[in-house]
Structures are given as structure tokens and as C-alpha cells.
Amino acid sequence: MTHPTIETLLNVVAKGDDKAIAALLAEDVQFLPPTYWKTWTGRAPVAAILGHVGQIFTEFRYRRIMGDGADWALEFQCKVGELDAVGVDLITLDDTGLITQFEVVMRPYKTVGALRDAIMERVMQDPRFIGFQSALS
């Protein structure tokens, strides 16, 4: 049986709706992206990043959901532009069911690079990220 938070995440992540995503995140959530070796911390910046990613990915769908209790792995496939990708969202929930850690691993390298470029383009145009720079740890 899938946790209610995971069920909701399955329905909102690909829509790019950062407000719906934020409702699933703990205040001090950590996000480990596939595009570089830094961690984003905090509900607002993590929701904003995941919202942008949901708008960049096309043909997104989860293929397999594995997990129980607090630890989940959600295998997905998608496109970034014309490039195919597969990946896994590694998710940890707290006792209240909020996401405390969200790590993404993805391949191939070329698609991860295209995602990085698309995210940077969006972030540079999103005024929220001026304030979020301090959220990088």
C-alpha cells in the first residue's frame, strides 16, 4: 500500500505546481538534485525548483513505486526537450508524512546536462531565487 503523501506526489509532481508540491514538504526539507553536488534546503526553494522541473519534463510518468514506511523509491521516465531520461526519486518522510529528503538520480548524462541548462535559464528569470541563494548549503 502506498503512503498518502506518495500518492499525492504522483499526481502533482509532473504538473509543475509548486504550491501543491510545497504542501507535501517539511519546512526543513532537503533536495539533492541530479544536476550538481549541492543541497537545497527549505520548503519554498525546494518547491520552486520542483515546480520548474515539472514544467521542463515532458512525457513524464512514474514506472515503479517501491517502498514502505518512511523510505520510498519512485522510478520515472521523461523527456527533456527531445532527449529521453530515466531516473529515481528517493524520498524520506517524517512521522507526520511530510517529505524531509528528496534526492533525484537520473541518466543519461547528456539529458542531465540539458536539464541543468533549462533549470538555470528558468532560475535566472525567477525573482524568488535571489532570496533563495542563501538556502544553498
Residue 135 has pLDDT above 60, yes or no: no
pLDDT band at residue 137 under the 50/70/90 scheme: very low
Are 54 and 132 a contacting pair, CB within 8 Å?
no
Instruction: Please state which architecture CATH assigns to domain 4-127.
Output: Roll (3.10)
Which residue has 503523501 as its cell numbers?
Answer: 5
- The residue-averaged pLDDT of 18-29 equals 96
Res 133: pLDDT: 58
Residue 28 has pLDDT above 80, yes or no: yes
Residue 72 has pLDDT above 50, yes or no: yes
What's the whole-model pTM score?
0.89
Residue 80 has pLDDT above 60, yes or no: yes
Quote the crossing angle between the two packed helices 109-124 and 43-56, to the nearest 10°: 120
Which residue has 526553494 as its cell numbers?
Answer: 45
d(CA 89, CA 13): 11
